[in-house]
Amino acid sequence: MSARGSSGEPPFKRQKTRDQNVLLKDLPADDFLRQIQLFQGPQVSIVIAERDFKLPKALACYSSPYFNAAFNSNFKEGEEQKLTLTDCSPETFSLVVQWMYQSHIVVPTAHHRPVKPATGNAPSGSGSGSVAHNEAAIRSPTASRQSTVAAEDTDLRWAEEEKLEMEFYPNLARNHGAQAVSRLLAFLQLADRIDLLGPFDSVIATLRETLAHSGGGSRWGWTRTALLPGHVRLAAALPASHPIRRLLADACYREFVLDLFGHVRQQGPARPFRFVREVRDLDSFGADLLRAYMQRQVGKKRVLNAKTKEAEWVFTDPLTEKDFRVVV
């Protein structure tokens, strides 16, 4: 039997059960030593596109109930110890492999490229092998441990492999912040799909930092440039409880408020809210955005500008916790 049932969802997904596994980095030393066998023993094969990833079966099954159900099933995947994943790129799955070993990911950048292995074999031992992990070589523009820039040709190839609808990712090749957000969201989407062991606090913190530092003014007004419509659409497809849903709604908050109240003194042509199409098409995003707006209404205040003597509303950006003002 193939890895996909008649519903289009792999049957392993419906059979998974939640266990009490903990990220290896969070284990006390004595407990960690008892888990060394996870890096040893028979291997399984996970194929993405034309790349074959070889992983210790014990590690794959420990890290993902999805893989545990697949490789210990009576399906073809259990018999052959081989699974094919579609709708993701080898680069995104490489991040999953790195997470399994290190509970940390580093997005490849123009200044930091992982060494391409001769085979698809994953690193052996404690995970310090062929998966790149050299933080000293990274110079992130946001002071984050994750990196944020990818070469244009590499990123466009990655976007094609991820089957991104490029109409929702305008100017992605020239937008380094949006590239970082795209890759980290793709990782989180795949992690949710295979129920990868988390939590992913470090990844979410990097996304927050990247988005928070990407705001700036333009002829169209203030814009959070690293955030694109495609990101909103991807997040809207995640479960309602996923923290990314709230994070991206918070990231849209400032532009939403400026669209509602910010046209009184605006110079030049007015531009509609950048994500108006997503509000119209995605009920989940509309609800998330309204919830973010209502939660921040309590903190807004009306003040008198000492210089202009004009009344202004003061709002707080959820991502930066800094105030911004809108002329009433």
Q: What confidence score (pLDDT) does residue 272 get?
A: 81
- Residue that terminates a domain, selected from 56, 86, 116: 86
323's enclosing H/E stretch is strand 323-327
Q: Is the pLDDT of residue 134 over 60?
A: no
Instruction: Identify the CATH number of the domain in which residue 66 sits.
Output: 3.30.710.10
Number of Cα atoms under 13 Å in the Cβ half of residue 17: 2
Average pLDDT over residues 296-321: 83
Handedness of CA 169, 175, 181, 183 (dihedral sign): positive
Q: Which of 16-25, 164-173, 258-267, 298-307 has the highest mean pLDDT?
A: 164-173
Q: What confidence score (pLDDT) does residue 107 get?
A: 86
Q: What confidence score (pLDDT) does residue 229 get?
A: 98
Q: What confidence score (pLDDT) does residue 187 get?
A: 98
Task: Clarify whether residues 74 and 174 are in a common domain.
Answer: no
Least trusted range by pLDDT, from 26-35, 137-146, 291-300: 137-146
- What the block records as the tokens of 227 is 């955030």
- Comparing CA positions, the residue from 230, 226, 289 lying closest to residue 259 is 289
Q: Are strands 51-56 and 82-85 parallel, antiparallel or unpaired?
A: unpaired
Residue pLDDT, tens place only, 251-262: 999 999 988 876
Task: Clarify whether residues 291 and 187 are in a common domain.
Answer: yes
Number of domains in the chain: 2
- Say if 145 falls within a structural domain: no
- Say if 280 falls within a structural domain: yes
Residue pLDDT, tens place only, 173-220: 889 999 999 999 999 999 999 999 999 999 999 999 999 999 777 655
Owning domain of residue 278: 160-297
- Say if 276 falls within a structural domain: yes
Residue pLDDT, tens place only, 219-251: 557 899 999 999 999 999 999 999 999 999 999
Q: Are strands 301-304 and 215-216 parallel, antiparallel or unpaired?
A: unpaired
Task: Please give the Cα distance from 262 to 324 (Å, whole number).
Answer: 11
Q: What confidence score (pLDDT) does residue 307 get?
A: 79
Task: Please give the Cα distance from 156 to 158 (Å, whole number).
Answer: 5
Q: Is the pLDDT of residue 71 over 60?
A: yes
Q: Is the pLDDT of residue 314 over 50?
A: yes
Q: What confidence score (pLDDT) does residue 215 get?
A: 79
Task: Clarify whether residues 73 and 183 are in a common domain.
Answer: no
Terminal Cα distance for the chain, rounded: 63
pLDDT confidence tier of residue 109, bands split at 50, 70 and 90: low
